[in-house]
Amino acid sequence: MKEKVVVAISGGVDSSVAALLLKKQGHEVTGITMILDAAPEKGGTAKACGLRAIEDASRVCRMLDIPHQVVDYSRELEDRIVRPFIEEYVRGRTPNPCVVCNRHIKFGMLLDRATALGFDTIATGHYAKIEQMEGKTILRRSREARKDQTYFLHAIKREALERIRFPLADLTKEAVRRIARENRLPVSDKQESQDICFIPEKGYGEFLRARSIDVNPGEFVDRQGNVLGRHRGFALYTKGQRARLGGWSGDPLYVLAIDAGNNRVVIGGKADLMAPGLVADRVNLLVDHLPERCVAKIRYAHKGAPCRVVLEGERLRVVFDEPQEAITPGQYVVLYEDGIVLGGGVIREELTP
């Protein structure tokens, strides 16, 4: 069935090919580019969503002969994404703003805008898959396992899934590049950004300082509170990161925890990073019921591990078959069964052995 579709076109190759494929399938396609300008005067950057991106998206839309609109969600980015991100960092947690952006802006505000304008669905260049199974709409991992982005999409509201399209679901990244070149899209060889869009190249420290957040040196300590050295500022570290101490000649040390209140970074050996499970909150489910057993990812690059899951009111308890390394508060745990995304939540604490 032909649809009236909005494509969130960023000026990159993935969203451009998504628009191309939908146009070739006969859908009525309109491209919308979001301005997500994280206040450069406050240390932010528009490297992924700025003038260059708008120009590239406009060129692609002209080439495809589809309408192109630009909408400014900079204020929403600041209120819903950037400020909570900073608050979490100041608490010593490691947030993932891309998950929040997908839920509230791309597949929240932009989807609602598209619906209000009379569009049937919204499409993006994400590597993920929407399917119908037993009369229900589900989110499934894409064919491109190396690029699968369902980890970042698990927090989308379940009722939104039926209005979302992922045209790249069955394609590899190499195939997408090939399609772009064959159709002479002007962004066919454009490099993709791997970083959080509002963090400048100088990194988290520079961004936080520009936001008047103190990033001061402090103490590296062991679990017993013994001082082992000096760090550059707790906000520059995350759990599992290698801790490098000048003059240290023992076994490698790693960040175990952040004591934000005392500006301390707790460090220890690799074995100290292992934990049997976790507790998560802000749970979002994409299925009616959770199975007793499934596979859980504790960060995007994690390959996933078998576990038992229990939903305890509004909190999720996950116990792994084998201890996992660097379970990090502020990150997300995402649950899968046979490639289907079951849901996930924000990691609040690790379970002790």
Q: Where are the domains of the chain?
A: 4-182, 216-268, 274-350
CA within 13 Å, CB half, 112: 8
264-290 burial by CB neighbour count: b if 16+ within 10 A, else e?
bbbbbeeebbebbbbbbeebbbbbeeb
Catalytic choice (61, 98, 101, 307): 101
**Structure tokens, 130:** 């929407």
CATH topology of domain 4-182: Rossmann fold (3.40.50)
The one-letter amino acid code at 178 reads R
Weakly modelled stretches of the chain, pLDDT under 70: 38-50, 193-195
Measured between alpha carbons, how far is 144 from 148 in angstroms, rounded to an integer?
Answer: 6
CATH 3.40.718.10 fits 274-350, yes or no: no
To the query of whether residue 197 is one of the catalytic residues in this protein, the response is yes
What lies within 8 Å, CB to CB, of 338 at 6+ separation is: none
Q: Tell me whether residue 101 is one of the annotated catalytic residues.
A: yes
Instruction: Choose, from 49, 61, 98, 197, the residue flagged as catalytic.
Output: 197
Q: What is the pLDDT of residues 107-133, one digit of tens each?
A: 999 999 999 999 999 999 999 999 999
- pLDDT digits 0-9 by tens, 196-252: 777 777 777 788 888 877 788 999 999 999 999 999 988 889 999 999 887 777 889
Q: Which CATH superfamily is domain 216-268 in?
A: Adenine nucleotide alpha hydrolases-like domains (2.30.30.280)
